[in-house]
Amino acid sequence: MRALTPMRIEAGGPFQAATPAIVLASGSATRRTLLASTGLRFTAFAPDVDETAVKIATRRDGGTPEHSAMALAGLKAAAFQGQDDVLVIGCDQILVCNNVWFDKPATLAIARDHLQHLRGRTHTLVTATICMRRGQRVWSHMAKPKLTMRNFTNTFLDAYLAEEGEAVLHSVGCYRVEGLGMQLFDAMEGEHSAILGLPLTPLLAYLRAQSIALA
């Protein structure tokens, strides 16, 4: 893993204290949009973490998806190494269906296979979030939203993949519930932001409790 440091740390905004600055250790545009929607000011960077290696090691050692997601969230947060007092937020999400762990598809053909496997079934989005400050873990949270895909037709699947294209390759579930992905589901359980990969309600509660965000 290669430690990365953003070029410039953003100062706090009107809804937060002047210090510490907030760093989001994620390359996900969705997570960045979610955090920005709260009015908090932060710096984001994409940490260099070998997620596949961590998942393989976790399975080999008998670990659970929860262990793997939390370990990855911690590694992503720890990838930031700066001299300033900052709060670093690391996140990871693993999709599990019938004890099968899913990774982001590399091709549209693999995405099709994933969606065919998930069709008509309920899967869990194991979503881990960790906050680190001065190199120490200060908070962690695990959310596990459950989503049930409807038994859609192959005709719909073809149309969906044609419309979404390579956008499905950026999601472990091959869907964006903030867009056309909503068409895939019969039911969803869990906070919407947790489904998208960053549970905002518990995170904001922690930030307010620590006087980092305004109460």
Q: Residue 100 forms beta bridges with which residues? A: 97
Mind spelling out the 3-state secondary structure of 15-58? Answer: CECCCCEEEEECCCHHHHHHHHCCCCCCEEECCECCHHHHHHHH
Residue with tokens 């908090």, as numbered in its chain: 40
Start-to-end CA span in the chain (Å): 36
- Respond yes or no: is residue 113 known to be catalytic: no
Give, for 80, the enclosing helix (H) or strand (E).
none
C-beta of residue 112 within 8 angstroms of C-beta of residue 138: no
In contact, 51 and 59? CB cutoff 8 Å:
no
Do 171 and 6 meet the contact criterion of CB atoms below 8 Å apart?
A: no
SS (H, E, C) 137-193: EEEEEEECCEEEECCCCHHHHHHHHHHHHHHHHHCCCCCCCCCHHHHHEEEEECCHH
Options 50, 84, 92, 103, the catalytic residue? 92
Separation CA 84–CA 148 (nearest Å): 43
Residues with active-site annotation: 92
